[in-house]
């Protein structure tokens, strides 16, 4: 009897090995459908947005939350898939080294100052350890290369470390290029993907935009090897590169999704600092108005003295007699000196934008308006009493005008150049998606919706507000994990619609937003 | 005896038991085999739990019953929308019991009972989809109760005694759905308190109107485990003044609710015994799990529970095959105390159907070996917990749950 009893527990274990089974277990084959697509070998092409770049750097947890990685995890719930691989960096500091010398900045974190005010700061809690001379072996499903423009994906030697110091190669691609001479596209196609996504072209717009339009609009120049890093890519160059990429990927027999390009006005990098952040009390406003009356007067007088027709001189001077009111006022911006604007500044117009990186301290000290030094105020007092300023005093007044530099603003011409190029690029993307029967993701519309209305989710509303909105990380351009999760969901939506698949979407509320740390200097 | 108790306590410390609510109905092999009936069954010293008033009817002078259970429980969770899947690590726990009674006179029996009527152990995978509600919990309580059983007349007896409880709780959860340190490790808190003690009591009566029929009544009082000065350990907290979560102490109360049992048993055809018990567990005392952290900078954790009183209907049958073997079978329906919208994955319990069986082997005239098993089957349920808040907004955690448990048990009955 005892012999028998001692086997009882084993008998019990045998019985219980049947775990509880759902009526319709979602982790069994067939619950979700891959439809007409095959997600078993997914390759993502793109730039920093594809790589999972955030907070101004590429770091581990950012990569883990890249939208291709989120999508790949969902694909794995639908069918048997190959492990999705990413060229992971070494750490969560971000920042790259080239032979031991740091060449890109660490990530940003939200730090609280002694006054309790939060601000994005560069994280200094640990040293970056990712040296690009340590080239990773193997192939990678995530082929996102931060900084890459459309034509870079088909540019040979883009992963050649010797080209990094001169800017002809990309330090991120150096890390995982299969050879120094290969192209991003070649390495992607060589993986024989069954499914791909392409999200490229953002930098063709953004490098120009985030430089405040200091680059050149290269529309009409079909040779990208002559482009500077901040230039706006010619739409034909974009179309040529993009169709090469799409045709090559489609040529592998794979299905895929194309993602179009969002408006710069959807990015907090361009919308956080309003162009009317010059907030004045009544006295200062009156002072400034008086100042610019003086400027107009000095200009007219000088012009007349130089022989300009008084009527013309008065007409030109009128543009400088700016009035300022109590409350918010638009900043001044420097423009090229011209016949119609001989002093080379004007007030910004309603739709013009400032960049996030503008020097806030300088703004507080008169950058974007007037640096009212005691000397300048003294001249103003002289003018008010009807006195006649000397040449030096007049120059002092004119020199006190401090318009914003081109690098800190996107003026209306620059915005037009950007949106024209963007419309051309997006038309190319949509046409190629339709021509090849690929899923088309209207990221432009989606980003716009987040920016204008916000997207409700189970823990609140996702918006593009800087720091607090949840969608964008602390660089104002790249999403947070939650933003990337939302992006993954909309790409999955388009895929499900196009390929009749039922890939489940993620709950974006479960993805984090910005990272807090006071380990900053 | 002391050694056995020590061993049992040790086993309990490592136990991860499955329990709904957190009542663990495993207080005797013979009773469990009969659907955990026993308030009106005079069989062995298990009466020390089920109905102390019945102890005085045991024929032998000394009666001892002891045993334990292995709990093999599985809980599966899935969410069709997101494709999230989670399964609780299957684990073996060991609830135990030890009952002894000694007949002092014909009308008075004294006894001592040690048993574990409450406990819970659920260990989800760390950082699973519901980790902001619970990663893992381990709750244990040992009841120690001296007993007197008094026969008032041929038909009627009463019993009861004070209960001393010593309990422990260890509970880990992530602070919310997203907070993590610079390395991406999710911020979490572990609260741990052990050696939490309190007193309660039970009182019972048994009425035997005829030779083959008994009616029983038992009431066990509510006992609140008041954990004071337990340890709250915060891990993976970002280095930021906005997250001032430093290790601290905490106070919390966990109610072990009162329970009422009434039932009857009927012997028929000489070898057969039928028993029916009705239990009411007064769960409505469990309104909220509130954890008050000593550090005023750390917000207290309030987790609404709003349990409802719950009933259990138990049926059991015993067949004395011969002098050596007794066979038993039973069934009970266990009503969940959890209201809709309060389904927390720390105690993922819905109504269950429970099937039991077992047997006793009389090794000799003093010693019997008792064995039992319990199979708990929960219906698949779509449920949610709607009282987790982020920035003042309720964020329900929902999904489909399916659970089952298999509980084999082994014990001995000794009489002298």
A109 neighbourhood in chain B, CB within 8 Å: 182
C-beta separation of A406 from A353 below 8 A: no
CB contact under 8 A, B393 and A16: no
Q: Min CA distance, A60 vs chain B (Å)?
A: 8
- Rounded to a whole number of angstroms, the distance between the first and last alpha carbons of chain B is 16
Token pair 């999760």 in the structure block, residue: A485
Both tokens of residue A386? 């009807």
CB contact A517 to B (< 8 Å): yes
Q: What is the largest CA-CA distance in chain B?
A: 76
Q: Residue A331: pLDDT above 70? A: yes
pLDDT tens-digit profile, chain B (416 residues): 344 433 333 333 333 333 357 888 999 999 999 999 999 999 999 999 999 999 999 999 999 999 999 888 888 999 999 999 998 865 545 799 999 999 999 999 999 999 999 988 888 999 999 999 999 988 889 999 999 999 999 899 999 999 999 999 999 999 999 999 999 999 999 999 999 999 999 999 999 999 899 999 999 999 999 999 999 999 999 999 999 999 999 999 999 999 999 999 999 998 999 999 999 999 999 999 999 999 999 999 989 999 999 999 999 999 999 999 999 999 999 999 999 999 998 888 889 999 999 999 999 999 999 999 999 988 899 999 999 999 889 999 999 999 888 899 999 999 99
Whole-angstrom distance, CA of residue A451 vs CA of residue B38: 66
pLDDT per residue over A410-434, tens digit each? 999 999 999 999 999 999 999 999 9
| Owning domain of residue B300 | 2-415
Q: What's residue A304's pLDDT?
A: 92
CB contact under 8 A, B404 and A20: yes
CB contact under 8 A, A19 and B90: yes
The residues, ordered by sequence, that sit 6+ positions from A82 with a Cβ below 8 Å of its Cβ are: A40, A41, A42, A141
Whole-angstrom distance, CA of residue B55 vs CA of residue B53: 6
C-beta separation of A153 from A167 below 8 A: no
The enclosing H or E element of A185 equals: helix A184-189
Mutate to test the interface with B, among A3, A6, A12 (most CBs of B within 10 A): A12
Q: What's residue A6's pLDDT?
A: 53
Of B82, B87, B243, the CB nearest to A504: B82
Q: What ipTM, to 2 d.p.?
A: 0.88
C-beta separation of B301 from B230 below 8 A: no
Residue B397: closest CA among chain A residues belongs to which residue?
A458
Q: Return the closest-CA partner of residue B317 out of B26, B46, B29, B35.
A: B35
C-beta separation of A161 from A143 below 8 A: no
CB contact under 8 A, B82 and A9: no
Mutate to test the interface with A, among B128, B182, B325, B349 (most CBs of A within 10 A): B182
User: What residue ranges define each of the domains in chain A, with the CATH number in brackets?
Assistant: 42-272+418-510 (3.40.50.1110), 278-409 (no CATH)
pLDDT per residue over B13-63, tens digit each? 333 333 357 888 999 999 999 999 999 999 999 999 999 999 999 999 999
The residue among A152 and A385 whose pLDDT is bigger is A152
Q: What's residue A5's pLDDT?
A: 53
Q: What is the rounded average pLDDT of the residues A320-325? A: 94
Q: Return the closest-CA partner of residue A490 out of A437, A451, A440.
A: A440
Of A23, A118, A459, the CB nearest to B393: A459
The CATH number for B284's domain is 2.40.160.60
Whole-angstrom distance, CA of residue B111 vs CA of residue B54: 11
Mean pLDDT of chain A: 93
Mutate to test the interface with B, among A19, A72, A123 (most CBs of B within 10 A): A19
Domain count, chain B: 1
Beta strand B156-174 pairing with B301-304: unpaired
A511 neighbourhood in chain B, CB within 8 Å: 178
- How far CA A207 is from CA of A203, A212, A407, A501, in Å, comes to 5, 9, 12, 36
Q: What's residue B6's pLDDT?
A: 37
Inter-axis angle of helices A374-384 and A282-305, to 10 degrees?
70
Q: Return the closest-CA partner of residue B161 out of B204, B100, B223.
A: B204
Token pair 């930021």 in the structure block, residue: B240
pLDDT per residue over A429-441, tens digit each? 999 999 999 999 9
Whole-angstrom distance, CA of residue A150 vs CA of residue A337: 35
C-beta separation of A507 from B178 below 8 A: no
pLDDT per residue over A170-226, tens digit each? 999 999 999 999 999 999 999 999 999 999 999 999 999 999 999 999 999 999 999
pLDDT per residue over A44-59, tens digit each? 999 999 999 999 999 9
B182 neighbourhood in chain A, CB within 8 Å: 92, 109, 123, 125, 515, 517, 519
A493 neighbourhood in chain B, CB within 8 Å: none
B178 neighbourhood in chain A, CB within 8 Å: 482, 510-513
The residues, ordered by sequence, that sit 6+ positions from A7 with a Cβ below 8 Å of its Cβ are: none
The enclosing H or E element of A414 equals: helix A412-436
DSSP 8-state code for residue A516: B
Beta-strand runs (E) in A158-232? 195-199
Q: What's residue A31's pLDDT?
A: 94
Q: b/e string for B296-325 if b means 16 or more Cβ within 10 A?
A: eebeebebbbebeebebebbbbbebeeeee
Q: Residue A1: pLDDT above 70? A: no
CB contact A473 to B (< 8 Å): no
Q: What's residue A15's pLDDT?
A: 47
- How far CA B402 is from CA of A213, A388, B118, B353, B378, in Å, comes to 59, 91, 22, 13, 6
């Amino acid at each position: 009897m005892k012999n028998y009893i001692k086997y009882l527990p084993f008998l019990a274990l045998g019985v219980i090995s049947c775990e509880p089974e759902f009526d319709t277990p979602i982790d069994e084959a067939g619950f979700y459908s891959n439809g007409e697509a095959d997600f078993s070998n997914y390759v993502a092409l793109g730039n920093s947005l594809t790589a999972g770049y955030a907070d101004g750097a590429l770091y581990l947890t950012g990569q883990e939350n890249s939208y291709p990685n989120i999508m790949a995890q969902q694909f794995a719930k639908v069918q048997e898939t190959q492990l999705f691989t990413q060229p992971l960096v070494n750490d969560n500091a971000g920042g790259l080294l080239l032979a031991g010398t740091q060449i890109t900045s660490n990530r940003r974190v939200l730090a609280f100052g002694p006054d309790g005010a939060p601000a994005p700061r560069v994280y200094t809690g640990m040293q970056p350890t990712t040296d690009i001379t340590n080239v990773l072996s193997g192939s990678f499903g995530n082929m996102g290369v931060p900084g890459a423009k459309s034509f870079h994906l088909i540019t040979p030697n883009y992963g050649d470390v010797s080209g990094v110091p001169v800017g002809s190669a990309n330090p991120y691609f150096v890390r995982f290029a299969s050879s120094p001479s290969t192209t991003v596209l070649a390495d992607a196609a060589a993986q024989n993907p069954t499914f791909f996504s392409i999200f490229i072209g953002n930098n063709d717009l953004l490098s120009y935009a985030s430089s405040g339009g200091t680059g050149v609009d290269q529309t009409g120049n079909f040779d990208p090897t002559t482009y500077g890093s901040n230039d706006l890519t010619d739409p034909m160059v974009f179309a040529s590169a993009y169709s090469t990429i799409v045709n090559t990927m489609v040529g592998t027999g794979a299905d895929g999704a194309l993602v179009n390009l969002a408006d710069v006005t959807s990015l907090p990098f361009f919308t956080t600092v309003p162009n009317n952040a010059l907030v004045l009390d009544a006295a200062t406003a009156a002072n400034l108005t008086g100042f610019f009356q003086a400027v107009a007067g000095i200009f007219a007088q000088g012009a007349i003295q130089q022989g300009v027709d008084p009527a013309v001189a008065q007409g030109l001077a009128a543009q400088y007699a700016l009035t300022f009111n109590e409350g918010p006022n638009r900043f001044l911006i420097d423009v090229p000196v011209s016949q119609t604007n001989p002093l080379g500044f004007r007030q910004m117009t309603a739709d013009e934008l400032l960049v996030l990186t503008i020097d806030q301290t300088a703004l507080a000290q008169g950058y974007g308006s007037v640096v009212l030094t005691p000397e300048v105020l003294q001249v103003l007092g002289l003018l008010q009493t009807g006195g006649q300023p000397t040449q030096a005093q007049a120059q002092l007044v004119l020199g006190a005008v401090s318009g914003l530099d081109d690098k800190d603003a996107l003026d209306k011409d620059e915005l037009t150049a950007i949106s024209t190029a963007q419309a051309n690029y997006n038309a190319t993307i949509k046409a190629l998606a339709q021509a090849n029967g690929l899923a088309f993701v209207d990221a432009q519309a989606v980003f716009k919706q987040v920016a204008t209305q916000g997207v409700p989710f189970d823990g609140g509303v996702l918006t593009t507000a800087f720091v607090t909105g949840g969608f964008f990380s602390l660089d104002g351009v790249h999403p947070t994990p939650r933003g990337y999760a939302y992006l993954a969901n909309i790409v999955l939506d388009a895929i499900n619609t196009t390929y009749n698949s039922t890939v489940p979407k993620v709950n974006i509320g479960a993805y984090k937003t910005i990272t807090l740390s006071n380990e900053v200097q | 005896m002391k050694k056995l108790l020590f061993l049992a306590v040790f086993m309990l410390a490592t136990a991860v038991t499955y329990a709904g609510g957190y009542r663990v109905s495993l207080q005797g092999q013979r009773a469990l085999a009969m659907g955990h009936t026993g308030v009106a069954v005079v069989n062995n010293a298990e009466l020390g739990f089920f109905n102390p008033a019945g102890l005085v009817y045991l024929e032998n002078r000394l009666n001892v019953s002891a045993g334990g259970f292995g709990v093999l429980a599985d809980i599966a969770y899935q969410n069709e929308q997101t494709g999230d899947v989670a399964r609780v690590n299957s684990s073996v726990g060991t609830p135990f019991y030890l009952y002894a009674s000694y007949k002092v006179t014909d009308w008075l029996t004294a006894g001592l009972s040690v048993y574990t009527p409450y406990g819970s152990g659920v260990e989800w995978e760390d950082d699973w989809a519901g980790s902001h509600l619970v990663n893992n919990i381990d709750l244990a309580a040992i009841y120690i109760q001296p007993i007197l059983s008094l026969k008032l007349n041929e038909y009627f007896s009463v019993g009861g005694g004070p209960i001393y409880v010593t309990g422990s709780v260890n509970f880990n959860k992530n602070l919310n759905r997203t907070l993590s340190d610079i390395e991406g490790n999710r911020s979490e808190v572990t609260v741990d308190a052990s050696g939490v003690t309190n007193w309660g009591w039970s009182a019972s009566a048994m009425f035997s109107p005829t030779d083959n029929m008994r009616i029983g009544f038992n009431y066990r009082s509510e006992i609140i485990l008041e954990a004071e000065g337990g340890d709250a350990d915060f891990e993976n907290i970002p280095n930021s003044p906005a997250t001032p979560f430093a290790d601290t102490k905490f106070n919390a109360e966990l109610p072990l609710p009162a329970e009422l049992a009434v039932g009857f048993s009927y012997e028929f055809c000489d070898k057969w015994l039928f028993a029916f018990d009705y239990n009411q567990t007064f769960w409505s005392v469990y309104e909220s799990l509130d954890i008050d952290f000593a550090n005023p900078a750390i917000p207290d954790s309030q987790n609404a529970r709003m349990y409802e009183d719950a009933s259990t209907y138990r049926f059991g049958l015993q067949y004395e095959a011969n002098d050596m073997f007794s066979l038993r079978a039973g069934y009970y329906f266990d009503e969940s105390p959890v209201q809709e919208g309060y389904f927390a994955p720390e105690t993922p319990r819905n109504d269950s159907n429970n099937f039991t069986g077992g047997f006793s082997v009389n090794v000799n005239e003093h010693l019997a070996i008792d064995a039992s098993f319990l199979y708990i089957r929960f219906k698949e349920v779509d449920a949610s917990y709607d009282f987790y808040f982020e920035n003042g907004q309720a964020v329900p955690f929902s999904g489909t749950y399916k659970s089952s448990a298999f509980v084999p048990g082994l014990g001995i009955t000794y009489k002298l």
